[in-house]
Chains A and B, each alone.
Chain A
Amino acid sequence: MTPFDAFLLPPGCERPPVYEVLELPGGASIRYPVLPADQCESLLSGLEDAGEALGRTPVRSLSRSIGRVADRLLDPADPLRAEALEMLAPTAGISPEMADSVLAGMACDWTRERLDELLDREFGSVDVLDAFQPRDGGRMVRARGPAISFHVGSGTVPGVGVTSMIRALLVKSAVLLKPGQGDVALPVLFARALREEMAELSHAVAVVYWPGGETELETMALERAPVVVAYGGDDAIRSLRARTPVTTRLVTYHHRVGVGLVGREALGSDRGSGVARAAAYAVSMFDQRGCVSPHVLYVEEGGQVDPMEWAGVLWNAMAELEVELPVGRLHPEDASAVHQVRGVAEMREASGTGTRAFHSDPGFATVIFESEPDFVVSCLSRVVYVKPISDLVEVPAVLKGVERHLQTVALEGSGDRRPALAEALARLGVTRITPFQEVPWPPPWWHHDGASVFAGLVRWIDSEETPSYSSTCSSTRHNTI
């Protein structure tokens, strides 16, 4: 199989002299360039120039052009969609069925309607992205993205790279994207299609994959870009943070985990099978690699089905879903981790400690029921823990210690306890509470890890033409002159 070119350089960039090929599990491979210093330099200055030009493009025409690419990815008759589906599964290590789901789920948030709604929600009047706008009193405000932003994607959640690219383009920033190893296909195809939509965009996006860090390009990009957006594990983020100048805005999305809470109200007449199907979906999507993916499900006692029995119901739902949405080609270490975890759970089960392991061969869907309430990090690849809890209100206390890595809490069946529970989870540090079905697909305007998705990307500029004597503070201060 020909390696997939995990890069797209702007037109006019010199052809890189050296390429490397990286073999992926399952027979696919990706090719990436090794850029010498002078080419890194010209790439970055080219992007900066393109970013300046992009700054003069009206924001609505950007969302229109980006949206057209999304429409193509959603159109069953479009060859771009066919190519994306063909490349996504082998490069991301996901099944073709999962690739279909991921593309549909991601691209519908990249359409013009969704992007315009995002802009409206975040900026009020989007005109602030095009020119100074009067706000209040004599104040004018303007929001500007940097001429260039450097984006470092993570691992194998396909779509993260394109989402990051789009956020930056919407605030008129040229983009250098280093996608995660399993997320190379969509950014390359997306950037290529953008070129066909709008001349201004063709020079404003570069996608280059390289493994590890500390290459010439990475070092130079960290020095040059006023904004760096990074997704990844804590070690990767720590390393980037150490190498980023203090004057650079660094927006980081570090390691995150999710949990689920199933209250007795959801464990009624259907024996919890409805919530089990939704939870199975939340766990299985992206083969559990999302920052949103749940690791542990706390299940309340006292419903019509007890937590251990519900674990079996959940496993049935996960096993069924594995037929519909098969697991991808796992890396050896991921598969190995699942075998170790399953084996240990079965040994615990055999020792009579109250553990139950639900799984079957072949298949990766695994539910481990454990009576101890402590949070456990899953080895992923569709391995989830179910733990009984006498009352959902006890969960926030149990999660003490993981709160800095906790992001999404799926919550169902809490009835009228929901407001108090939400408050307690918010106090703990959780940034998203949602039903299981919504877990994989936060809307574009979600507060990703607790902040506006544009918060680090744009600078707000306040311009005051006349002193605002109306304010009490001002008049007090000026009287003293």
Chain B
Amino acid sequence: MTDDFEGLARDLKVAFARGTGEPWTEEVFDAWATRIFSYQFESNAVYGAYSSKRGGTPSTVRHWHEVPPVPAAAFKALPLISGDPELVQRVFRTSGTTRGREGRGQHHVLDLDLYRASLLPNMRRHLYGGGASLPLFALVPDPLVASDSSLSFMLGEALATLSDGKGAFFVDEGGQMEREGLRQGLRETTSKEQPVVVAGTAASLVHWLDWMTEVGERFELPPGSRIMDTGGLKGRSRTLSRPDLYRQLSAAHGVPLENIVNEYGMTELLSQYYEVSAPESAGTDLEDRRHVAPPWLRVRVLDPITLEDVPAGQPGLLCHYDLANAGSVMAVLTEDLGFEDAAGLRVLGRVAGAEPRGCSLAMDALLSKGESR
């Protein structure tokens, strides 16, 4: 007997509510994952047919590793809904560039409460030091104006719940940063000795740092303050390595390196990873850091050529199994590279060549009718 979405989501919320601290055993995760696979196989005809073609059906899948993943690009190609499309509460869209004819990725979310149940405890643990309701200064647009941004949604939920409504969004609808407002906010919180969470994309943080340098601003945020960055650093006006970004963020805000945390997430997943320091490194050695998932999110690292699991410590493509994706598709094969060892997952970034290869490249700009400028 297969689940209905409502019952499945209710059970998942109960499971997520047990918190992120205690890891789940392989058996517990496997039971959940195979249950969700059976549900998705039955309720999502497209995914069911796709899985069958790849040899994965509820009767053949013995272990969550055997659940066929969909490519992340599939979110750009068609709606991935496991359940009643009429009940979709929100469609989140990827912000990235469009690739050829394919548009932005879309994640149809059937139950925003399930999304909240996944993101909030995880965020509380990694960004709020487990408890205190720190104000949140978000360098992204307000979810009210960017209702299709999953990052804005996450930070909006955090602000409302984990920050008790304290804080603000400092990027307007048009993508302009309200730098004076942010400066004022940080000055006030500093004078009140109130620690804060500053969260933004790596690109917005670089932009903010550039402005601080320009106007000669610098903060000494109260102890306990944290900075969260997310997203890539490529293709921006100024290219900065992550260690350099962290050092500059640390120096400009008076926040120790161990309190600067990377979030690894994507619109296609309703659960996120946060980067933590190895206990012995005190957060100063960024190479030692690992991305940690909540118990309901697991990863396989796959050989880019064969898609077989690689041995521990070897780099490969990251394939995520996110139970919070119960209403869409749980297993997602990304184009991100990383490796997993005893300490955890280390994300190495998007696969990319050192230089373009082939005089005939699959190039995004090709269809832009000749020279783009």
Contacts and interface: CB of A to CB of B under 8 A. Distances in A.
A, B co-complexed: yes
Contact of B357 (A155, A340, A348, A405): A155
Given A339-B333, A350-B50, A377-B100, A155 B358 contact: yes
A404 B70 CA distance: 34
A415 interface: no
Nearest to A404: B370
Interface of B: 45-50, 53-54, 69-74, 76-78, 100-101, 304-307, 317, 333, 335, 337, 351-363, 365-367, 369-371
Contacts of A290: 358-360
A347 B70 contact: yes
Interface string A335-365: 1110111111011111100000000011000
Interface stretch (A35-43, A55-63, A226-234, A461-469): A226-234
A336 B304 contact: yes
B366 A405 contact: yes
Contacts of B371: 234, 404
Closest 5 CB pairs of A and B: A343-B71, A289-B358, A350-B49, A155-B357, A333-B351
A322 to B, nearest CB: 14
A426 interface: no
Interface stretch (A108-116, A253-261, A300-308): A253-261
A17 B79 CA distance: 57
A22 interface: yes
Q: Which of B53, B337, B351, B356 has the most CB of A within 10 A?
A: B356
B76 to A, nearest CB: 8
Indicate the member of A295, A350, A376 with the most B CB atoms within 10 Å: A350
A453 interface: no
A235 interface: yes
Nearest to A378: B362
B359 A255 contact: yes
B64 to A, nearest CB: 18
A289 B359 contact: yes
B359 A234 contact: no
Nearest to B74: A347
17 contacts: A181-B354, A212-B354, A290-B358, A330-B305, A332-B305, A333-B335, A336-B351, A337-B335, A340-B73, A347-B47, A347-B70, A347-B71, A351-B78, A377-B366, A378-B362, A380-B360, A380-B361
Contacts of A341: 71, 73
Nearest to A160: B359
A360 to B, nearest CB: 12
A374 B77 contact: no
Contacts of B54: 346
A331 interface: yes
A346 B304 contact: no
Contact of B317 (A155, A336, A347): A336
A330 B355 CA distance: 14
Contacts of B100: 376-377
A377 B363 contact: yes
A339 B359 CA distance: 22
Contact of B362 (A154, A157, A361, A379): A379
Contacts of B78: 347-348, 351
Interface of A: 22, 154-157, 160, 180-182, 211-212, 231-236, 253, 255-258, 286, 288-293, 295, 329-337, 339-344, 346-351, 361-362, 374-380, 401-402, 404-405
B73 A344 contact: yes
Given A212-B355, A236-B356, A336-B351, A351 B367 contact: no
Contact of A156 (B77, B357, B369, B370): B357
A288 B351 contact: no
A231 B46 contact: no
B365 A234 contact: yes
Contacts of A232: 356, 359
A235 B359 CA distance: 12
B357 A255 contact: no
Contacts of A258: 360
Contacts of B362: 337, 377-380
A349 to B, nearest CB: 8
Nearest to A343: B71
A380 B101 CA distance: 17
A235 B370 CA distance: 12
Of B72, B317, B366, most buried by chain A (CB within 10 Å of CB) is: B366
Nearest to A287: B358
Nearest to B317: A336
Nearest to B71: A343
A331 B367 contact: no
Contacts of B357: 155-156, 180-182, 289, 331, 334
A347 B69 CA distance: 11
B307 A339 contact: yes
A343 B76 CA distance: 12
Nearest to A375: B367
Given A211-B354, A347-B78, A350-B53, A256 B73 contact: no
A404 B369 contact: yes
Contacts of B366: 255, 257, 377, 402, 405
The residue in B333, B354, B362 that gathers the most chain A C-beta atoms within 10 A of its C-beta is: B362
Contact of A343 (B73, B306, B358, B363): B73
Nearest to B350: A333
Given A181-B354, A379-B362, 13 more contacts: A154-B359, A155-B358, A233-B361, A331-B353, A333-B351, A333-B352, A333-B353, A334-B357, A339-B307, A340-B71, A343-B73, A344-B71, A350-B49
B49 A339 contact: no
A282 B130 CA distance: 60
Given A332-B337, A339-B71, A344-B71, A234 B363 contact: yes
B41 to A, nearest CB: 12
A401 B358 contact: no
